[in-house]
Structure 1
Amino acid sequence: MNKEEKARLWSERIREFRSSGQTCRDWCREHQIPVSTMTYWIRRLKKELPICVSENDQEPVFAKLPSASEIVMRDTVDGTAAVRILISGYIRIEAAPSCPPELFQVLIRTLKENA
């Protein structure tokens, strides 16, 4: 197998992994591929062929981010932050009793997906 064929093969594997929704470890275990090999090819193809390992084939989506004052007004109830995340040597998450359940669910889901 020549270099181009290997690059195509690994590019396709990376696309399959990313579209699977699985963690790298789980996908690699299922396909009997060492995680170190997968990460090697992700790095290598990202340098050589960035288009082959793109996260998705969609156009970028732009969103308006709220200003600092909008965040303060929206995320506080009675002048107290609904959720505070402190990171200093460890992670600490504080949720006020007034924290909307939806906000807490989104926070936990996001942390779980990106941990």
Structure 2
Amino acid sequence: MKEDERKLWTERINDYRSSGLTAVKWSEVNNLSVHKLRYYINKFNKENKLESNGTSSEIKWVPIVA
């Protein structure tokens, strides 16, 4: 995902959360798909959860001493 797209969706999610509206109503007002809003919320939540758990998609090698 491009950095500008990530920034845009982060701002949209923050705006939605601070609006006090339901996801459906906020999406209608902002002429966006509620499915897309929920998709990005879930995507970012999963990424944040992985980061906070210290889990990464990066491969880490561990030496084995026999």
Mapped partners of 1:27, 1:17: distance in 2: 6
- Contact 1:7-1:45 at 8 Å conserved across structures: no
Give the structure-2-normalised TM-score: 0.67
Q: Equivalent residues in 2 for 1:95-110 (5 A)?
A: none
- Contact 1:28-1:34 at 8 Å conserved across structures: yes
- 3-state SS of paired residue (1:46): helix
Identical-residue share of aligned pairs (%): 37
Match of 1:22 in 2: 21
Note the alpha carbon deviations across 1:56-113, whole angstroms, 9 max, x for none. Answer: xxxxxxxxxxxxxxxxxxxxxxxxxxxxxxxxxxxxxxxxxxxxxxxxxxxxxxxxxx
Mapped partners of 1:39, 1:25: distance in 2: 10
Structure 1 residues 28 and 10 mapped into 2: Cα distance closer, same or farther (>3 Å)?
same
More helix by share: 2
Larger-gyration structure (1/2): 1
- Look up the equivalent residue of 1:46 and give its one-letter code: N
- Look up the equivalent residue of 1:32 and give its one-letter code: N
- 3-state SS of paired residue (1:33): coil
- Look up the equivalent residue of 1:15 and give its one-letter code: N
Which 4+ runs in 1 deviate beyond 3 A?
none
Gaps of 5+ in 1: 51-115
Mapped partners of 2:12, 2:33: distance in 1: 13
Match of 2:10 in 1: 11
Gaps of 5+ in 2: 50-66
Larger relative contact order, structure 1 or 2 (CA cutoff 8 Å, min sep 6): 2
Note the alpha carbon deviations across 1:8-33, whole angstroms, 9 max, x for none. Answer: 11011000000000000000000000
